[in-house]
């Protein structure tokens, strides 16, 4: 069975929204195919936009990413999600970065016989950002609870 990328993305967004809600954030999901961000989260009268990128399983190895979007959305928080669907005994993993931080880890790769560059973020480069939910509060200057 082929895994639908849209379903992976949507599931990842719901997991992030649920996790933020558990941490006392008000969360709104945005829906559609041409959205600039996936979630709006607010806490203590401060608001932040969040982009969610999901992979179905660790063996997927990396998240496709638009390098130019990272450059233009410097204040955006990006949460990379590994649903761990190949290891159902494990919970999803979350890696929380700013767009500028993510930009530092992007790898450019040319596809064979194509002039278009593919940008991606390798799973193994983000381990120091794993489950760092406090990062969002730090960026907004909110006292972590």
Pairing of strands 26-29, 39-43: antiparallel
What whole-number distance in Å separates Cα of residue 57 and Cα of residue 62? 10
Where are any strands of DSSP class E within 12-139? 26-29, 39-43, 46-55, 62-64, 77-82, 93-98, 107-110, 117-122
Instruction: Please report, in tens digits, the pLDDT of each residue of the chain (145 residues total).
Output: 667 788 999 999 999 999 999 999 999 998 776 677 899 999 999 999 999 999 998 887 789 888 888 888 767 899 999 999 989 999 999 999 998 899 888 888 766 555 556 788 898 889 999 999 998 988 888 765 5
Quickly tell me which residue has 């195919």 as its tokens.
33
> Structure pTM?
0.88
Distance between first and last Cα of the chain: 42
| Residue range 48-88, pLDDT digits in tens | 999 999 999 888 778 988 888 888 876 789 999 999 998 99
């Amino acid at each position: 069975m082929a895994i639908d990328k849209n379903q992976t993305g949507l599931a990842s967004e719901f997991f992030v929204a649920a996790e933020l809600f558990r941490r006392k954030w008000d969360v709104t999901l945005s829906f559609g195919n041409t959205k600039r961000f996936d979630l709006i989260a607010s806490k203590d009268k401060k608001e932040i936009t969040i982009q969610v990128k999901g992979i179905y399983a660790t063996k997927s190895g990396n998240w496709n990413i638009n390098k130019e979007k990272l450059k233009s959305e410097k204040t955006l928080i990006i949460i990379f999600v590994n649903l761990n669907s190949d290891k159902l005994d494990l919970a999803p993993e979350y890696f929380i970065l700013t767009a500028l931080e993510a930009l530092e880890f992007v790898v450019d790769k040319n596809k064979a016989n194509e002039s278009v560059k593919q940008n991606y973020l390798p799973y193994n480069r983000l381990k120091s950002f794993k489950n760092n939910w406090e990062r969002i509060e730090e960026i907004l200057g909110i006292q972590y609870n």
